[in-house]
Structure 1
Amino acid sequence: MSIRKLAATSSPQEVSAVLQEDGVVCVQNFVTPETLSGLKQDLLPLLGQAAAGDDAYFHGDKTRRLSRLFARTDHVAAIAMNPLFLEASRNILQANPPTVWCGDQQSEVVPDIQIGATQVIQILPGQGGQPLHRDDFVYLWRHPSPQRETTVNVMVALTEFTHENGGTRVIPGSHKWDDERMPKVEETVSAEMNAGDALLWLGSTYHGGGANVADAPRTGITMPYILAFLRQEENHYLSIPIEKIKAFPEELQRLLGWSMGQTYAGWIERNGQIVSPLELLKLEEFKEVGLLP
């Protein structure tokens, strides 16, 4: 089974439909040439100064990683706000909202979503293949889930992705497997993409970075959307300066976790009232985490 490719002119509904059927999809020309150039200009010099990992098994001992991307480049917002990613993620993660009782009132509650983490990942020549895994293992999710997906991830190619240079390996259809079936490398398909393309996959889809047997690095940006009632992998509250957060549009502030959900998850107390953290971002005097006016 191959990885289906869609054009950037596709609709979020088309993207989410393929994700639901295959567990993975490639969107060609996902970012504009200007965004791609800006991301490379801002991040590649920093990545070149980063040390390779010391975990040969999972994170890679010939793989460089950098997080805190919203603090390091303004261009990463174009990935988060791309409707093919954002709206497709909402279609998947907010499907089948539950109805709950609160006293004598019953209502439908649509779960919020948020950005779970950000990383630019560079697989250097000589790096072996990453163990195949599901992203939702972070949340100890069981499969097949009777309720919903936890995660929709994206990998935006900053360089060409090939089978030889470590293009992400995916098992299409594996999101429908139970937890007893072991993933095998021979079942994988390599995501081959041009720079600017993107691979989207579900948290329940088995995948892993490929082995780089080429003579040049393979570099991409990953950024999952997750259900907002789950803990984010990356602590955005401590990794992004408050003044930078304040400059973002409110929708992006919410997606980074500065919100209170419909079920009140994420609230803060201010002057004896339960309020959303968004209220703090509107205050001039709020300049540091932990200093609540």
Structure 2
Amino acid sequence: MTQPPRLHASESMQSITDALQEHGVVIVEDLLDQDLLTRFNAELDSHLSERAQGAERGFVNAVVADFFGEHTEHLAGLAAKSTVFATEVLTHPIYRGVCDAVLLPNCAAYQLNLGQVLNRGPGGTAQYLHRDEAVWVHVPKPRPTLQLASVVALRDFTAENGATRVIPGSHLWDPQRQPTDAEAIPAVMKAGSGIIYLGSTIHAAGANTTADQWRRGLHISYCVGWLRTEENQVLSIPMEQVRALPRESQNLLGFGVHDAVAQRGGYLGTVDLSDPVELIAAGKL
């Protein structure tokens, strides 16, 4: 089994991006430094009860409910619940650098696809192996890279508490090749480290076989700006909070225009033929 490459956050963006492109995955150690991790967890503590939500969560359909399982506490719409997320994690230089390299060649601007905390409790079963970009099944193949995803350990990830399992190199597989559980490697890592992977890389959450550990992880993914996102960011955060955010965050949350006119394309997402972010700045939204 090929282990995913591990690089420290202090290494060059080129090294991190090269490893990601070659293996489809890279573990970045200390992606969130200790201060940022502490402040982020402190904000999350007020929203998480470490109580399995099960069916009461109200997932969009039964397949999604089964995918996440009955032993997971789910916190979605993070930009509205955590200022640290909206202003520091979402715009983190490593995410920006990797997205610039991987997604920007395929769009005029990229955006947050989803930002959620998955708190997987004892008894949580393993997810089936999958590719995240399969949600856009209607985009014909071959296709460019549509998505960059990651899972950050907000507490230590171990094989026993359900660390994300990943198959390095699977982004290059023939689409007909089926993965096996034996090929999936748990991304064991300390709190603050993150596993970054392409949307075409096969992975899954592991089973939590511990008696008392809640595996708290941040799932954050970005996609090209011309796709509809999994999480509706515009309806997930009140406008009064949006107005207070930096412009960079507003754009990443999908409030800005995807303007491909300079690339001989068109524009998407205007309000009254204007860029909504400009209208927010002018006090018109």
Fold agreement, TM-score > 0.5: yes
Amino acid at match of 1:280: L
Provide Cα deviations, 1:31-77, integer angstroms capped at 9, x if missing partner. Answer: 12121111211113312176523366311111111111111111113
Say yes or no: does 1:198 pair with 2:194.
yes
Tell me the residue number matched to 2:66. 57
What percent identity do the matched residue pairs reach?
Answer: 35
Q: Distance in 2 between matches of 1:112 and 1:285?
A: 23
> Do the aligned partners of 2:52 and 2:70 also contact (CA within 8 Å) in 1?
no
- Alignment partner of 1:199: what SS? strand
Provide Cα deviations, 1:172-231, integer angstroms capped at 9, x if missing partner. Answer: 111111221112111100000101111100000011110011131111111101001000
Higher Cα Rg, which structure: 1
- Alignment partner of 2:68: what SS? coil
Say yes or no: does 1:6 pair with 2:7.
yes
Match of 1:159 among 140, 155, 161: 155
Say yes or no: does 1:210 pair with 2:213.
no
- After superposition, residues 141-180 of structure 1 pair within 5 angstroms as 146-180=142-176
Tell me the residue number matched to 1:85. 95
- After superposition, residues 106-185 of structure 1 pair within 5 angstroms as 110-140=107-137, 146-185=142-181
TM-score by length of 2: 0.89
Compute the RMSD of aligned alpha carbons. Answer: 1.8
Tell me the residue number matched to 1:291. none
> Do the aligned partners of 2:80 and 2:241 also contact (CA within 8 Å) in 1?
yes
Number of corresponding residues: 268
Q: Distance in 1 between matches of 2:179 and 2:108?
A: 30
- Alignment partner of 2:267: what SS? coil
Tell me the residue number matched to 2:59. none
Amino acid at match of 1:176: L
Distance change in 2, residues 1:64/1:92 (3 Å): same
Q: Distance in 2 between matches of 1:258 and 1:125?
A: 38
TM-score by length of 1: 0.86
Say yes or no: does 1:34 pair with 2:35.
yes
Distance change in 2, residues 1:7/1:49 (3 Å): closer
Q: Distance in 1 between matches of 2:202 and 2:54?
A: 22
- Alignment partner of 2:39: what SS? helix
> Do the aligned partners of 2:52 and 2:121 also contact (CA within 8 Å) in 1?
no
- Following superposition, the deviation at residue 89 of structure 1 comes to 1.4
- Alignment partner of 2:217: what SS? strand
> Do the aligned partners of 2:50 and 2:73 also contact (CA within 8 Å) in 1?
no
- Following superposition, the deviation at residue 279 of structure 1 comes to 2.3
Distance change in 2, residues 1:234/1:252 (3 Å): same
Q: Distance in 2 between matches of 1:178 and 1:266?
A: 35
Moved more, 208-217 or 8-17: 8-17
- Following superposition, the deviation at residue 24 of structure 1 comes to 0.6
Provide Cα deviations, 1:128-180, integer angstroms capped at 9, x if missing partner. Answer: 1011111001101679x544111101211110001111000001111111221
Question: Unaligned stretches of 5+ in structure 2?
Answer: 56-61, 261-265
Q: Distance in 2 between matches of 1:21 and 1:141?
A: 26
> Do the aligned partners of 1:26 and 1:198 also contact (CA within 8 Å) in 2?
yes
- Following superposition, the deviation at residue 11 of structure 1 comes to 2.0
- Following superposition, the deviation at residue 120 of structure 1 comes to 0.3
Amino acid at match of 2:271: I
